[in-house]
A and B are shown apart, each in its own frame.
Chain A
Amino acid sequence: MTTQALLQVLASGLLMGLIYALIAVGLSLIFGLMDVVNFAHGEFLMTAMYVVFGLFLFTALDPVLFAPVAAAVLFCVGALAYLGIVRFAMRAKANQGMVQIFATFGLATLLQGAAQYFLTPDYRSIGNSWLGGKTLDLGGVFLPWPQMFGGLVSIAAFGGLYLLMSRTDFGKALEATREDQGAVALVGIDRNRVFALGWGLGAALVGLAGAVLAIFYYIHPQVGATFGLIAYVTVALGGFGSVFGALVAGVIVGLVEALTAAFLPPAMKSLGIFALYLGVVFIRPSGLFGKL
């Protein structure tokens, strides 16, 4: 493999990795806040992709413009999922872990079924957009603009998340609630409200990722399953609850996947990620940056 080809592989892997990080960070955020793994995370992504696709069909405007809309819609979806489902799952007295897994898995199945029933199982894609099909030539390394846009949105989102967590009252409330759920009630923070906002924020982040993916990826009811699994592996690799871990793990996953695909048959491209995950947790049982 020539240096040029290797650079191409690494550049594609890096861009996809930033998008994986953006998909995973919401999952990690929610887990860090309240120890709940959302098994419907992939389906949140799918919902965001359909939101962008639908708006594109009805307004004929460019999909790039809909990223904030998708984030806003998903914020509501996330907050509602907490208020309508997860809040009750957390009240379970027996085997809470399983109840949460299956309550959110039930939601995932329901969303998938609804997409299939109302939107048909067809594969859709957004045909022409400002960025679609255009590439940036960096001395022989070609970077597709949709993926570049995704990488930039991801970096911006992580920057914004950092500011939100460190500079705002909401960020402080989030941090305090994750440290000690009982104590925050004593200083007048409504735990339920923080959780609902946390779920909204986590879903809004995956909403951004979905909006970016919709520009260059096929949209179909099962799309969430593929990215969902990658998101779980990414979060566990980085360490559950660690925002920084999600960013680093996302990039690593993207690079490893691109390298595996370059050397093994395309069907085996996930093998590298899976092997990497097992390799890491067998040595460090709580992931790269996990505190557990």
Chain B
Amino acid sequence: MTDEALNLPPAFGMLPRRRNQLLVAAAVFAAIAVSPFAIKDVYLQNVLVLTLLYAAVSQSWNILGGYCGQISLGHALYFGIGAYATSVLFVTYGIVPWGGMLVGGILSAAIALLLGYPCFRLKGHYFSIATIVIAEIGLLLVHNWDFVGGALGIQWPFGSDSWATLQFARDKVPYIHLALALLAITWFVTFLIEGSRWGYWWRAVKDNPEAAESLGVEIFHSKMAAAAVSAFFTAIGGAFYASFLAYIDPESVMSFRFSLLFALPAVLGGIGTLWGPVVGAAILIPLTEITRSYLGGSGSGIDLIIYGGLIMLVALAKPEGILSLFQGKRQKAEGRS
């Protein structure tokens, strides 16, 4: 079926709305790029790095979970594969993290395709629980696999600051720019997809699979493509996280907590939207980090009370996500539903 028959707009944004979104993105990302001139505090810079990273990974999750409607609660698997591929290749074989990043990304995409075969036959909760279970199996295997450090994990060697090895011990600013670059890329990929035929197909698969199929949408291939793209960028995020921490162990990159942390910003901000994951991460991550550091450490539990309460509040008060607060009026004005 051709684009004309589906009555789709052309893939690249002649529409003023899409051009405006690009301009807004350019302005936002440029502002973040120069922000280190204003934010000198190392603690705040750390929070900024994490916020940008979670925004980027949540954006990747959003491609499968938001646009295609396949709620994965096992993305920690891909994050872990990225982190472990990069760490093993660098620490054991001396291959620079840039290479490991790519290997991890491709490996994750391949595994996503492999797992997609059986998993995409499952619907709703059966699918979500299968993704949890698969990620838990991955966690168990890594825990018991001595070649990748087992339960002890992998410590990156100390070296001088360098863009080749992505090690910056004294200065956090390069990490801000790296995380920002990752976010900008995932945002732009999502932007391109949103306007392309794939974007329309995925939304059709999400909203009404039966109707989509009867109109000639390849449901299975749509889901597979979304899973591969989503897994690829999630793994790149994991690779970045490993170089940022310079130490990984199974729990610190692959636990179930991460799978939820990748879905949450998208859900809180606005699932299946371009800016949802960014807005969600910008609120959630600083709040988590600040409650954790100022309210008596992560052992006391008060941070969990606030965190849990906030999630409940947003989920109940604004089910369409925080972004819907701003979008409602504009969409009505443009006559889109």
Chain A contacts to B: CB under 8 angstroms: 31, 37, 85, 88-89, 92-99, 101-103, 105-118, 121, 221, 225, 229, 232-233, 236, 240, 265, 267-268, 270-271, 274-275, 277-278, 281-282, 285-287, 292
A118: B residues at CB distance < 8 A: 301
Find B304's partner among A31, A99, A113, A275 (CB 8 Å cutoff). A113
Within 8 A of A (CB), among B77-114: none
CA distance A93 to B306 in the complex (A): 26
B305 to A, closest residue via Cβ: A113
Find B130's partner among A110, A267, A278 (CB 8 Å cutoff). A278
Interface of B is mostly: helix
User: Contact at A268–B312, with CB atoms within 8 Å?
Assistant: no
Contacts A98-B71, A105-B260, A267-B140 given; indicate if A85 touches B312 (C-beta within 8 A): yes
Smallest distance from the beta carbon of B160 to chain A beta carbons, Å?
A: 38
Report the number of A-B residue pairs with Cβ-Cβ less than 8 Å. 141
A267: B residues at CB distance < 8 A: 140, 143-144
Find B300's partner among A116, A232, A240 (CB 8 Å cutoff). A116
CA distance A118 to B123 in the complex (A): 39
Smallest distance from the beta carbon of B48 to chain A beta carbons, Å?
A: 24
User: Contact at A282–B121, with CB atoms within 8 Å?
Assistant: yes
B129: A residues at CB distance < 8 A: 232-233, 236, 277
A278: B residues at CB distance < 8 A: 118, 130, 133-134
B8: A residues at CB distance < 8 A: none
User: Contact at A265–B125, with CB atoms within 8 Å?
Assistant: no
Smallest distance from the beta carbon of B245 to chain A beta carbons, Å?
A: 23
Contacts A107-B308, A110-B312 given; indicate if A233 touches B271 (C-beta within 8 A): no
Smallest distance from the beta carbon of B162 to chain A beta carbons, Å?
A: 37
User: Contact at A110–B305, with CB atoms within 8 Å?
Assistant: yes
User: Contact at B136–A274, with CB atoms within 8 Å?
Assistant: yes
Contacts A109-B308, A112-B308, A121-B301 given; indicate if A270 touches B315 (C-beta within 8 A): no
User: Contact at B320–A281, with CB atoms within 8 Å?
Assistant: no
User: Contact at B300–A117, with CB atoms within 8 Å?
Assistant: yes
B124 within 8 A of A: yes
A105: B residues at CB distance < 8 A: 260, 308, 311
A103: B residues at CB distance < 8 A: 311-312, 315-316
B125: A residues at CB distance < 8 A: 31, 37, 236, 240
B168 within 8 A of A: no
User: Contact at B133–A112, with CB atoms within 8 Å?
Assistant: no
User: Contact at A282–B118, with CB atoms within 8 Å?
Assistant: yes
B320: A residues at CB distance < 8 A: 93-95
A279 to B, closest residue via Cβ: B118
A275: B residues at CB distance < 8 A: 137
User: Contact at A270–B140, with CB atoms within 8 Å?
Assistant: yes
Q: How many residues of B contact A (CB 8 A)?
A: 45
Find A93's partner among B128, B132, B315, B319 (CB 8 Å cutoff). B319
User: Contact at A287–B311, with CB atoms within 8 Å?
Assistant: no
Task: Please name 17 further chain A to chain B contacts, defined as beta carbons within 8 Å, in addition to the given A98-B315, A109-B304, A274-B133, sorted by A numbering.
Answer: A98-B71, A102-B311, A103-B312, A106-B309, A113-B303, A113-B305, A116-B301, A117-B301, A117-B305, A118-B301, A221-B301, A233-B129, A233-B133, A268-B144, A271-B140, A285-B122, A292-B123
User: Contact at A109–B271, with CB atoms within 8 Å?
Assistant: no
Find B319's partner among A85, A92, A116, A225 (CB 8 Å cutoff). A92
Find A89's partner among B134, B301, B305, B315 (CB 8 Å cutoff). B315
User: Contact at B316–A89, with CB atoms within 8 Å?
Assistant: yes
User: Contact at B271–A268, with CB atoms within 8 Å?
Assistant: no
User: Contact at A106–B267, with CB atoms within 8 Å?
Assistant: no
B129 to A, closest residue via Cβ: A236
13 pairs from A and B in contact (CB 8 Å cutoff): A89-B315, A94-B319, A94-B320, A95-B320, A101-B71, A105-B260, A106-B309, A110-B305, A112-B308, A113-B305, A114-B305, A229-B256, A232-B129
User: Contact at B140–A268, with CB atoms within 8 Å?
Assistant: yes
B264: A residues at CB distance < 8 A: 102
B126 within 8 A of A: yes
B299 within 8 A of A: yes
CA distance A147 to B152 in the complex (A): 34
Contacts A103-B315, A106-B311, A270-B136 given; indicate if A277 touches B130 (C-beta within 8 A): yes
Smallest distance from the beta carbon of A148 to chain B beta carbons, Å?
A: 30
Contacts A271-B140, A278-B130, A285-B121 given; indicate if A99 touches B315 (C-beta within 8 A): yes
